[in-house]
């Protein structure tokens, strides 16, 4: 019986086509399934918002936290992929100092790791050449998919690019999680950056939390009126999964129109607030806040200088990307 199944799946056109369909369409659905199962809209709303705390990272100067993701992003581009994974390990140190809860760690892991794994898998499918070794070659019936199959060279290249996704996401989430949106505008003005850029960053930090807040509110209001948005407990049952997808598609007009109207009203209100506070009228805005660099800020600056020096040394020894 095992030999028959092996022959049917690997040595027949129908079996190889079924495997190719699973590789192309079923495996990429694992990421969204993990997101829905462990994160959901409510979890994503909570993790992408500022959470007050008295940790060392929270008390750092907002200017340092604003420069941190930019610095990490530049270094990840300059370094080779092996050293980028080392850089990713270094970006976990602020998370250790932050000491988030296990629930938040689980949500963050899904948000960061799932896109990286999907990137590796997609590159394994589409970053291929005729000379690459194929783990699984697609049959002629899947020629329309635009790929020859799953290649080892593509998976390796995907691992290279996934390292930069992990590093950038880790640094950016630290910034979002520990910095108040109002501090973003203050930090940009103190760094002599254009005030409109500071406003754009602040709006960007607030956009997703506000969007998910509106979505959650609209969904709760719809549930009061009889709509069912409950997720199936057993996803492996096709009827439950199809029924859930059908209910969500039917509710799209109900959800999108109020969210769009609310977003437009929020944009208008924010524009009025910016005009009332004379944003962009003067080159240097005044502020009542006075922030002095402390011991933790000095240590963070020294660590940043050492990181830049270490990166320069690695690049000089041949560990650079270019």
To the nearest 10°, report the CA torsion of 217, 223, 228, 229: 10
> What residue ranges do the domains of the chain occupy?
11-179, 181-291
The token pair at 250 is 């039917």
Residue 19 in contact with residue 79, Cβ under 8 Å? no
To the nearest 10°, report the CA torsion of 22, 24, 27, 28: -150
Say yes or no to pLDDT of 301 above 70.
yes
Mean pLDDT over 305-312 rounds to 91
**pLDDT tens, position by position, 123-163:** 888 887 667 778 888 888 887 877 888 888 888 888 888 88
CA–CA separation, 36 and 251 (whole Å): 17
Residue 127 in contact with residue 157, Cβ under 8 Å? yes
What's residue 309's pLDDT?
A: 92
CA–CA separation, 193 and 2 (whole Å): 66
Residue 228 Cα distances to 39, 212, 217, 233, 244, angstroms: 19, 18, 14, 14, 9
The beta-strand segments (E) located in the chain are 134-137, 149-151
CA–CA separation, 19 and 138 (whole Å): 9
SS3 13: helix
**pLDDT tens, position by position, 30-82:** 777 777 666 666 666 666 677 778 888 888 888 888 889 889 988 988 888 88
Mean confidence (pLDDT) of the chain: 79
**pLDDT tens, position by position, 179-192:** 887 777 777 777 76
SS3 134: strand
Residue 222 in contact with residue 255, Cβ under 8 Å? yes
């Amino acid at each position: 019986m095992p030999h028959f199944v092996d022959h049917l799946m690997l040595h027949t056109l129908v079996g190889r086509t079924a495997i190719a369909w699973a590789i192309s369409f079923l495996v990429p659905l694992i990421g969204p399934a993990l997101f829905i199962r462990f994160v959901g809209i409510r979890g994503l709303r909570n993790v992408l918002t500022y959470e007050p705390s008295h940790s060392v990272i929270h008390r750092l100067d907002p200017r340092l936290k604003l420069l941190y993701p930019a610095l990490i992003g530049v270094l990840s581009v300059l370094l080779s992929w092996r050293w980028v994974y080392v850089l990713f390990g270094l970006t976990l140190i602020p998370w250790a100092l932050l000491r988030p809860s296990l629930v938040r760690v689980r949500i963050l892991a899904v948000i960061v790791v799932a896109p990286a794994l999907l990137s590796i898998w997609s590159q394994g499918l589409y970053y291929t050449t005729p000379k690459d070794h194929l783990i699984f070659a697609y049959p002629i019936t899947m020629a329309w998919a635009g790929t020859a199959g799953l290649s080892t060279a593509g998976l390796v290249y995907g691992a290279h690019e996934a390292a930069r996704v992990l590093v950038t996401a880790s640094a950016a989430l630290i910034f979002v999680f520990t910095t108040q949106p109002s501090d973003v505008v203050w930090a940009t003005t103190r760094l002599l950056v254009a005030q409109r850029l500071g406003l754009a960053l602040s709006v960007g930090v607030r956009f997703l939390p506000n969007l998910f807040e509106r979505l959650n509110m609209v969904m709760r209001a719809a549930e009061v009126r009889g709509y069912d948005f409950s997720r199936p407990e057993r996803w492996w049952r096709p009827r439950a999964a199809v029924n859930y997808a059908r209910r969500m598609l039917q509710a799209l007009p109900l959800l999108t129109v109020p969210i769009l109207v609310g977003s437009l009203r929020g944009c208008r209100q924010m524009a009025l607030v910016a005009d009332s506070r004379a944003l962009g009228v003067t080159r240097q805005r005044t502020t009542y806040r006075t922030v002095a660099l402390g011991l933790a800020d000095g240590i963070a600056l020294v660590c940043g200088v050492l990181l830049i020096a270490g990166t320069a040394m690695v690049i000089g020894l041949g560990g650079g990307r270019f």
